[in-house]
Structure 1
Amino acid sequence: MSKFKATQRVTASFAATAAALIGFQAQADDHAIDLTGKTVEWVIPFSETGGSAKWANFYAPLLSEALPGQPTVVVKFMPGAGSTKGANYFQGQEYKDGTLIFGSSGSTQFPYLLGDPRVKYEYSDWNVVLASGTGGVAYLTPELAASMDGMDATPLQGTDFIYGSQGATRLDLVPLLAWEMLGLNVEPVFGIKGRGDGRLMFERGEANIDYQTSSSYLKGVTPLVEAGTAVPMMSWGALDDDGNIVRDPTFPDMPTFKEICEATPSCETSGDQWEAWKSFFIAGFPAQKMVFLPAGAPEAAIATYSEAFEKVKARADFAEISANNLGKYPQMTGAKAKGALKSGTDVPQSAKDFVVNWLQERYGVSIK
C-alpha cells in the first residue's frame, strides 16, 4: 500500500471518528433540556448542619456549571419527622421543567423499608440520576476512648452513654443496634433534626458518644479529633466485591465495627442480630445518598442530569475535591445508580422483622 493511500485511510478514519463524535454531541444537545436563566431547587429533608447538607452544598456549584445553561442551583432545607416531611413534599410534586430535584439519605430509606405510617412517598415513582456511597464513623470522648482495651469494647459496658438521635427508625438504627451488640448502655435523646445537631450536643458536653456520616465527619469532627476533644472508635466499614465488610477506604487505619465486635467477647458476627445489622448497613451506606427528579420526568431531563453529573465526575480535580469533602466512595449514574437504588430500598424480610421487633422491645416504637 502506498504512503498516500495509507494517509488517506488514516485521515478518513479520523474524519469519521470526528463526525461521529460531533453527531453524538449534536444528538445529546438536541435532547437536552435548557435551563438557561433558571433556578434549580434542590430539596434536602434535613437541617443545614448534617452530612446531607455538606454533600448537597459540595455538588450544587459543580452541578450548576455542568448543566445546560448553567442555572443557579439552590439547596433548600426542609427538615422534619426524620426526613419524611421533605420526602412527602417531593412525592406530591410533578415534573414541570427540570428545576426541582430531591436529595435522599439512608434516614429517608429506612422509614420506607420499615413501613413507617408517616411515609407517603414511593421510590419507584422517582427518577434517580446520582447515587453516592458513603461511610460512617462512631467516636467518643477521649476519656472513654482511653478506657477501651485495644479493640475490645468490654470496659465501656458499665458506662452510661448519651447520644443525640434523629429517631430509632432512621439511619441512627445502624449505630444504635451496633452499640447494643457491643453491650453498651446508650440512651438516645430523640428528636434532633440532623446529625450535625448531634455533633453539637457532643461538642457542648451534652452527649458522650456520637456518629457521623463520612462527609460530616471529615468537615465537622476531624477538627475535634485534631484538637483532642474527640477520638474515633470505629467506622461501619465498606463492602468489597464479594459483599464482605472491609475497612473503609476513607479511613483505612480505623477498625470497622465488625473488627470491634470480633474483639469483644459478648458481640457476635453471626446470627439474626448480625444479619439484620449488616442488611441495614448495606441499605443505608453503600447507596446512602441519592438525587432524584420527580414523577413524570421525561427521558430528556433524566439524561440531562445524568450527563451533568458524569461531567462533574470527569473534572480533572474531582477525585481530589470529592475525597476531601465526601470521602473515597463511588459516585454512580445511569444503570449503576439504579442498581444502588435497588440495594438501598430492598432488605430481606427477616431483617425487617428483626428490626421491627427490636424497635418495639428496646424503644417502645411500634410501626403499624
Structure 2
Amino acid sequence: MRRTFLKAAVSTAVLAVAGLTVPAAAQAQDAAEFYKGNVIKWIVPYNPGGGYDEYARVLAPYFEKYTGSRVDIVNMPGSGGMKGAVEIFNSPADGTHIGIINGSAMVTNQLAGIAGADYKVSQYSYVGRMVADVRVFVVSADSGIDTFEDLQSDGKTAVVGATGLGGSTYVDAVIVGEAFGIDQRVIPGFDASGDIRTAMLRGDVTGMWGSLGSAIDGVNSGDHKVILHGEKKPTGVLEGVPSVWDKADASKDPERAIRILEAWDALSAVGRPVAAPPGVPEDRLAFLRDAFEQAMMDEAFVTKMTEAERDLSFASGTDMVTIAKAATELDDDINELFVKAIRGEL
C-alpha cells in the first residue's frame, strides 16, 4: 500500500515539475489509497463519557466507513481541553492525526494569552464542525420579565449569574451587556449552571446566559423562558423569540454594537470542530473533509445523535477556516474588549 502511494506521489510530482495539471480525480484516488487500511488517531481532549467523547465515538464508525481507515479514539484530558488541542496542533501533519476541540474555549485562551495555549486557532487544518453552541438568555418564568425591553426598562439593575470568572457564561453576559449598555451586575462564582437556575427560581438572580442545550429542560418544563438569543436564523423553540440582531439598531451605538456582536457570534460559531494539525497535504485534507461531511450526513448517524438528544450543526472545513479567522483576527478595540472579558476585568 505504501509503495503504491509513493509511486503515485512521485508521478504527481513529475507532472507538477513539467507544468502539467494533475487531474482532481487522480489526486482523490491517491488520497483514497493512502487512507485505505490506514489508522487515524482521533484525540478527544476530555475524559471518556462526556459530550465531546460521545460525539467522537458515535461518529467514528461512520468516519471509518467513508475513509476506509480504522479510527482509534485517544482521550487526552488536561487544562480544560487545552492539552489535547495542543497535541493535535503539534501532531505529524500527514493526515492521520485529528481531533475534536473545544473551539470557543481555545479561542478565548488564545486571545487572553493563557499559559499553555501553544497553538493558533486559525492555523489548524479544519475537517469540519460537529456542533456549535446556540447562546440564549433565560429568566425565571415567575420573574415578571417577558421581554428584553422589560429587562432594560424596569428600573432595576439586572443580576446576572455566571459560573467561573472569564468563562463562557460570564463572557456572554459582559459582552452583550457592553454591546447594549445593559444596567446589570454580573455575579460569577456559581459552581454550576444548575445552581444559577435554582437562584433564578428563588428570585436571587434575574437571569443567565448559556447554551440552549443546557437550558432546554428548564424551558420545556416551564420554569424558565428565553427572552433573547444570539441566532441570526432561529429555529425550533427560538422561532419568534427576538435575537440580539433584532435589537442592535436600537442600541446607543449600533455600529459598535454590531461589531461586538459579530465577534461574539464568531466565537460561538467555532463550536466543536474536528481539526488536524497545520500543513496537511491538500489532497488528503480534501478527502478527510469529504468523508467527514458524508459521515455527518449519514442517516444512521443522524438518527443515533437524535436519539441521544445531541444537537448537530455541520459546517464544512472551508467554512471553519473563515469562522476561525473571524473569531481571532479582531479589530484592536474589540480584541481588547474580549481580552478584558475573558480575564474577568469587566
The TM-score with structure 2 as length reference comes to 0.71
2:175–2:264 contact (8 Å) kept in structure 1: no
Alignment partner, residue 268 of structure 1? 252
Which residue number in structure 2 is paired with residue 34 of structure 1? 37
**How far, CA to CA, are the matches of 2:48 and 2:172 in structure 1?**
20
Cα offset, 1:256, TM superposition: 0.7
Aligned pairs for 1:153-302 (under 5 A) are: 153-154=151-152, 155=154, 157-165=156-164, 167-168=165-166, 172-179=170-177, 181-189=181-189, 198-202=192-196, 205=199, 208=205, 209-214=207-212, 217=213, 220-238=214-232, 247-250=233-236, 251-259=238-246, 267-268=251-252, 270=254, 272=256, 274-295=257-278, 297-299=280-282, 301-302=284-285
Q: 1:67 maps to which residue?
A: 67
C-alpha change, 1:26 and 1:116, in structure 2 (3 Å) is closer
CA contact (8 A) 1:33 1:301 kept: no
| Aligned residues of 1:46 and 1:80 also touching (Cα < 8 A) | no
Offset at 1:84? Answer: 3.4
Task: Pick the aligned partner of 2:316 from 332, 335, 345.
Answer: 332
Between the aligned partners of 1:99 and 1:54, the Cα distance in structure 2 is 19
3-state SS of the aligned residue for 1:130?
A: strand
1:136 partner amino acid: R
- SS at structure 2 position matched to 1:90: helix
Q: Is the 8 A contact 2:41 2:96 kept in 1?
A: yes
For structure 2, list consecutive stretches of 5 or more residues without a partner in the other structure.
Answer: 1-22
User: Is 1:104 matched up with 2:91?
Assistant: no
Judging changes above 3 Å, is the alpha-carbon distance between structure 1 residues 149 and 43 closer, same or farther for their aligned structure 2 residues?
closer
Alpha-carbon distance in 2 for matches of 1:99, 1:355 = 31
Instruction: Give the CA deviation at 1:268.
Output: 3.3
Residue 60 of structure 1: how far off its partner (Å): 4.1
Q: Give the Cα separation in 2 of the matches to 1:30 and 1:234.
A: 49
Asked if 1:131 corresponds to 2:115, the answer is no
Per-residue deviation at 1:285?
2.6
Residues 104 and 358 (structure 1), Cα distance of their counterparts in 2 relative to 1, 3 Å cut: closer
Q: TM-score, normalised by structure 1?
A: 0.67
**Residue 305 in structure 1 maps to residue 288 in structure 2:** yes
Of all paired residues, the percent bearing the same amino acid is 12
CA distance in 2 between counterparts of 1:283 and 1:79 reads 25
Deviation at 1:130, TM superposition (A): 0.7
Give deviations 1:285-342, integer Å, cap 9, x for gaps.
3333321112454445423421211212443567777787325x45213x33333333
- Cα offset, 1:129, TM superposition: 0.9
Q: Quick check: 1:132–1:332 contact (8 Å CA) kept in 2? A: no
Amino acid at match of 1:257: V
Alignment-derived partner of residue 139 in structure 2:
140
CA distance in 2, matches of 1:75, 1:89: 11
Structure 1: which amino acid aligns with 2:127?
V
Q: Measured at CA, do residues 203 and 49 of structure 1 come closer, stay the same or move farther in structure 2, by a change above 3 Å? A: farther
Which whole-Å CA distance do the structure 1 matches of 2:28 and 2:147 have between them? Answer: 60
In the TM superposition, what whole-angstrom CA distance separates every residue of 1:110-146 from its partner, at most 9, and x where no partner exists? 23234445422123553111135633222222223x3
**C-alpha distance in structure 2 between counterparts of 1:128 and 1:256, whole Å:** 29
8 A contact 2:122–2:321 mirrored in 1: no
Shift of 1:187: 0.7
Q: CA deviation at 1:255?
A: 1.4
SS of the equivalent of 1:226 reads: helix
Deviation digits for residues 33-86 of structure 1, max 9, x if unmatched?
533xx5733323599656x566546644543443313x34537362535x4344
| Separation (CA, whole Å) in 1 of partners of 2:272 and 2:230 | 16
| Cα distance in 1, alignment partners of residues 54 and 36 from structure 2 | 27
Q: Distance in 1 between matches of 2:95 and 2:231?
A: 39
Change (3 A) 1:128 1:22: closer
Amino acid at match of 2:310: N
Where 1:153 maps in the other structure, the secondary structure is: helix
